[in-house]
Structure 1
Amino acid sequence: MSGVQDQLEIKFRLSDGSDIGPKSFPAAASVTYLKEIIISQWPKEKENGPRTVKDVKLISAGRILENNRTVGECRSPLCDIPGGVTTMHVVVQPPPLEKEKKVINDPKQNKCVCVIL
């Protein structure tokens, strides 16, 4: 393969329809690396941006990309056009808020009331 074919032009489509990129990435770049780029270049004016790689899901050709895969492994031969730009959709899933831990045998939590007549 030539050096040009080892590079992919990728743009990242955010949920509001705006894009990050397009940028050129080597086919050997990991999905984790792409997510780190998205986090570092997330628009400052947008709320609820991702904080960690675990907060980001990348979708390409209808598939959620796995962190341990490379861009080259995730390519879809049906969707990729030589010299074209690949669009990957970005879904941000912030971590769930920690809920209060409840003690199972806490008498204050018991809502049962027994009435003897």
Structure 2
Amino acid sequence: MAGVQDQFQIKFRLTDGSDIGPKSFPAATSVGTLKESILAQWPKEKDNGPRTVKDVKLISAGKILDNNRTVGECQSPLCDIPGGVTTMHVVVQPPLDKEKKVANKPKQNKCVCVIL
């Protein structure tokens, strides 16, 4: 019976309202492993998907989850119902292309004066 208690049903809500899962994860599963699972299950037809684990942010109970924490540590006693499905929100942060910004915006000298 303890083995069932150590399993969490988690579904991942994407920004467009669609879901990945639910899928069962042990309590000892790290948030980094959850992100790897999201990358593997990401719908191929969706544009602007994450390329790496660093592009994915997981939010549960209003908190951004750290990669080194486990699912058991992230469980909120107010929000999670035993035997229920926990919803975690997925935010994809696209990597910044510094070269693109430099090429598109030439440096301009601006002067601003304020006369009172």
Q: What TM-score results when the alignment is normalised by the length of structure 2?
A: 0.85
Distance 2:45 2:12 in 1: 17
1:31-50 matched pairs, under 5 angstroms: 31-50=31-50
2:53 paired with 1:58: no
Q: CA deviation at 1:98?
A: 2.0
| Bigger-Rg structure (1/2) | 1
1:17-28 matched pairs, under 5 angstroms: 17-28=17-28
Q: How many residues align?
A: 105
CA RMSD between the two structures: 1.8
2:100 paired with 1:95: no
Q: CA deviation at 1:69?
A: 0.3
Distance 1:4 1:51, change over 3 A: same
- Give the match for residue 70 of structure 1: 70
Structure richer in helix, relative to its length: 2
1:73-106, CA deviations, whole angstroms, 9 ceiling, x for partnerless residues?
A: 00001011001000000000011112338xxxxx
- Give the match for residue 7 of structure 1: 7
Amino acid at match of 2:11: K
- Percent identical pairs in the alignment equals 77
- Give the match for residue 81 of structure 2: 81
Q: What TM-score results when the alignment is normalised by the length of structure 1?
A: 0.84
Distance 1:111 1:86 in 2: 52
What are the ranges of 5 or more consecutive residues in structure 1 without an aligned counterpart? 102-108, 113-117
Distance 1:44 1:3, change over 3 A: same
Distance 1:17 1:39 in 2: 17
What are the ranges of 5 or more consecutive residues in structure 2 without an aligned counterpart? 111-116
Structure 1 segments, 4+ long, off by >4 Å, are 109-112
